[in-house]
A and B are shown apart, each in its own frame.
Chain A
Amino acid sequence: DIVMTQSPDSLAVSLGERATINCKSSQSVLYSSTNKNYLAWYQQKPGQPPKLLIYWASTRESGVPDRFSGSGSGTDFTLTINSLQAEDVAVYYCQQYYSTPLTFGGGTKVEIK
């Protein structure tokens, strides 16, 4: 199984500042034949189901604000929230879909400082 490790567990960022969340996979999720990274990011607010933000490691889902961006390749990935807004307070998860079982990172809680 591919183990996904997120860091930090939580972070507090001032409004308008940048939040950076890291996700590391125990093996590469870059599929050589497609040259794509099989990694997605989700946002989960309290009492709500997760919401898709990013897939293929860096492709923003339709309707997601452009302050959210994904980067990285192979085993190391980053979700960046530029100019943090109050509505971005949530837990963020990475997920690999390179192989079954699909696995998630442990989550990163983003709060306002």
Chain B
Amino acid sequence: QVQLVESGGGVVQPGRSLRLSCAASGFTFSTYAMHWVRQAPGKGLEWVAVMWYDGSNQYYADSVKGRFTISRDNSKNTLYLQMNRLRAEDTAVYYCARDCMRFGYSSSWFDYWGQGTLVTVSS
């Protein structure tokens, strides 16, 4: 069965960096685009970034552009999110989610989600 397991969250001071990981199993990771979606405490869902299945392209929300970098290692079935210059408003549960389309070059809906990892940015 499809499993997505996020890790790397924690408490970090404003301006510092953190890297999240998402370990995927139960499907052919290298054939699906993968996303990061976040949810601030008590708030709604916010899409963060996507990387195509082959790593050929990535897109970001304006709120994180220039500070966050999405990447993947298809040999390790792992998705990453490098978060730099963190701000208090980046505090959220970060989910990795699978795009529904195989070999797709556009974003679609999310058919599987991880349980999320909490990032708290606070001094």
Contacts and interface: CB of A to CB of B under 8 A. Distances in A.
B47 A102 contact: yes
B59 interface: yes
Contacts, number: 56
Question: Which secondary structure characterizes the binding site on chain B?
Answer: strand
A22 interface: no
Interface residues of A, number: 23
A93 B45 contact: yes
A102 B114 contact: no
Contact of B95 (A1, A38, A49): A49
A61 B111 CA distance: 9
Interface stretch (A12-20, A78-86, A103-111): A103-111
Given A97-B109, A104-B44, 10 more contacts: A1-B62, A42-B45, A42-B110, A44-B45, A49-B114, A93-B45, A95-B109, A103-B47, A104-B46, A104-B47
Interface of A: 1, 38, 40, 42, 44, 48-52, 55, 61, 93, 95, 97, 100-107
